[in-house]
Amino acid sequence: MRLLVAVMFSLAAVASASAADRVLPQSPAQIQLSFAPVVSKVTPAVVNVYARRVIRQPINPLFQQFFGEGAMRSRVEQSLGSGVIVRPDGIILTNNHVIEGGQDIQVALPDRREYQAKVVLADPRTDLAVLRIDTKGEKLPALEFGDSDKLQVGDLVLAIGDPFGVGQTVTSGIVSALARSNGGASDYQFFIQTDAAINPGNSGGALVSLDGRLIGINSSIVSSSGGNIGIGFAIPSNMARIVVDGALGGGIKRPWFGADGQAVTADISKALGLQRPEGVLVSQVYPQSPAAQAGLVKGDVVLAIDGFTITDSNSLRYRVVTHRPGDAVGVKYWRSGSLRETTAKIALPPDQGRDEGTIATLSPMQGAKVANVTPALADEMQMDLMAKGVVVTDVQRGSQAARFGIQAGDMIRQLNGNTITNVAQLKRGLGATDSWQMSVQRGDRILQLDVQ
């Protein structure tokens, strides 16, 4: 039944048609239309990705528990996924979780040729990875990126990949929802939801529109059994394009807005005089950030970026990160009962005042590298971009800090009753005494360390 509904479109023009142009089939001939022309166009650019990793395990875990580390054995673990050729010279896009930890990555083309792949960039924050294979100058079939912002709920899509290792498979469905925030391991929770069948092994495969353009990278599913139940998620192509461009251009440069807050609830919207719950209520604005320079202040409600509705912090981050530094974006916001507009110039997060260095003073922190948290450092360490204070960025093996359990990512909050706000203050405090009482924040927990 889905096929009969799907074929009501002219395959060459449906992706760019407006909602008003989309009509039901008018004749038996239209009902007999097929996806085959699109499939034959796109499938040569969808590949299989195999990542092999060597896992070392004790021969008998029980012996290790009582007698320490003993004889070890190695086993090869292999993950299977899919990928998409996005450049004819052998640039392939896949999911990071497909190749993560892989020591030997192989790519198999639909014609059964296999290539050793090198990782150009692995980005856990978007759950995307860019691979390169040496084609010896041969130009491979490649998919062009489509504009995922033009998708509408109800649009027809095809999902292509290698589910369960059975071989290349094509499934059809519709866009079930947009801007989903529960679709996988990405920091940017802004997914396309589709009912096109996606199963294990489809990860990294292509979600394409009916004009044969790549509009998403299939990433994850919701399932109680491990198989498809019609809820699949894909990373939008506009995000994927940014990762590919960054991989080939010296690294990803993530733009920064400099404001954060919470989604507006029904109670908040009523209190602020909004007609319905929408937007992000700004709770903090970083000084001299793009948001601050655009005039936004605490208490404003960001309603739209460049005409796209903002529903929560995830959509705000997505709308910012899919721009390039230097882009000027229109911001619609609510303040004091009135709708206002301004322009913000997107920028890279600043890094002034990091003051990173290793603690040499004999203390529980000796051997720990620490730094003042800047927005750029917070982005590197996947922290709250509005965070402030002193963070541990690395710990030398065998150092005092390592023996006392200090870890990278720990925030040093207090030392001997004094709140720590910068690296210079921490260094002075560590060297001024021979006993140390410290408060260390690790995630949501506060740990106490008392050394006399």
pLDDT tens digits along 319-340: 998 988 899 999 999 999 999 9
Higher model confidence: residue 223 or residue 143?
143
Question: Do 63 and 212 sit in the same domain of this protein?
Answer: yes
Q: For residue 66, name the pLDDT band (cuts at 50, 70, 90).
A: low
Q: Is residue 8 part of a domain?
A: no
* Weakest mean pLDDT among 154-168, 172-186, 301-315: 172-186
Please answer whether residues 412 and 418 qualify as being in contact, where contact means their C-beta atoms are separated by less than 8 angstroms: no
Domain stop point among 236, 252, 268: 252
Higher model confidence: residue 349 or residue 18?
349
Higher model confidence: residue 226 or residue 267?
267
The answer on pLDDT for 77 being more than 80 is: no
Question: Do 334 and 424 sit in the same domain of this protein?
Answer: no
What pLDDT, on a 0 to 100 scale, did the predictor assign at position 7?
Answer: 34
Count of alpha carbons within 13 Å of 231, Cβ hemisphere only? 11
The answer on pLDDT for 138 being more than 50 is: yes
Question: Do 105 and 144 sit in the same domain of this protein?
Answer: yes
What pLDDT, on a 0 to 100 scale, did the predictor assign at position 214?
Answer: 96
- How would DSSP label each residue in 338-403? EEEEEEEE-BPPP-TT---EE--SSSTTTTEEEEE--HHHHHHTT--TT--SEEEEEE-TTSHHHH
Mean pLDDT of the 231-237 span = 92
Count of alpha carbons within 13 Å of 395, Cβ hemisphere only? 19
Q: For residue 129, give both structure tokens.
A: 């990875």
Residue 147 — φ and ψ, nearest 5°? Answer: -95, 105
Q: Is residue 112 part of a domain?
A: yes
What pLDDT, on a 0 to 100 scale, did the predictor assign at position 11?
Answer: 40
Question: Do 52 and 130 sit in the same domain of this protein?
Answer: yes
Q: What percent of the chain has pLDDT over 90?
A: 63
Residues noted as catalytic: 97, 127, 203
* CATH of residue 443: 2.30.42.10
Question: Do 331 and 391 sit in the same domain of this protein?
Answer: no
What pLDDT, on a 0 to 100 scale, did the predictor assign at position 181?
Answer: 76
Question: Do 137 and 216 sit in the same domain of this protein?
Answer: yes
Higher model confidence: residue 252 or residue 187?
252
Domain stop point among 212, 231, 252: 252
Domain encompassing residue 154: 45-252
Q: Is residue 312 part of a domain?
A: yes
What pLDDT, on a 0 to 100 scale, did the predictor assign at position 1?
Answer: 31
193-217 pLDDT tens trace: 998 888 878 889 999 999 999 999 9
Position 86, amino acid: V
Beta bridge partners of 131: 92, 119
Higher model confidence: residue 143 or residue 19?
143
What pLDDT, on a 0 to 100 scale, did the predictor assign at position 261?
Answer: 92
Question: Do 106 and 193 sit in the same domain of this protein?
Answer: yes
Q: Is residue 146 part of a domain?
A: yes
86-105 pLDDT tens trace: 999 999 999 999 998 888 89
Residue in 414, 386, 419, 388 with CA at minimum distance from that of residue 286: 386
Question: Do 243 and 313 sit in the same domain of this protein?
Answer: no
* CATH of residue 104: 2.40.10.120
For residue 105, the surrounding DSSP H or E stretch is: strand 104-108
- Structural domain total, the chain: 3
Question: Do 302 and 370 sit in the same domain of this protein?
Answer: no
The answer on pLDDT for 4 being more than 60 is: no
Domain stop point among 290, 312, 345: 345
Beta bridge partners of 338: 335
Q: Is residue 22 part of a domain?
A: no
The answer on pLDDT for 16 being more than 90 is: no
Residue in 133, 156, 173 with CA at minimum distance from that of residue 212: 156
Q: For residue 6, name the pLDDT band (cuts at 50, 70, 90).
A: very low
Q: For residue 72, name the pLDDT band (cuts at 50, 70, 90).
A: low
Beta bridge partners of 92: 85, 131
Q: Is residue 149 part of a domain?
A: yes
Buried b (16+ CB within 10 A) or exposed e, 109-133: bbeeeebebebebbbebbbbbbbbb
Residue 49 — φ and ψ, nearest 5°? Answer: -125, 125
Q: For residue 58, name the pLDDT band (cuts at 50, 70, 90).
A: low
Question: Do 188 and 314 sit in the same domain of this protein?
Answer: no
Question: Do 288 and 228 sit in the same domain of this protein?
Answer: no
Alpha-carbon span 143 to 216, nearest angstrom = 11
Question: Do 221 and 97 sit in the same domain of this protein?
Answer: yes
The answer on pLDDT for 36 being more than 50 is: yes
What pLDDT, on a 0 to 100 scale, did the predictor assign at position 221?
Answer: 76
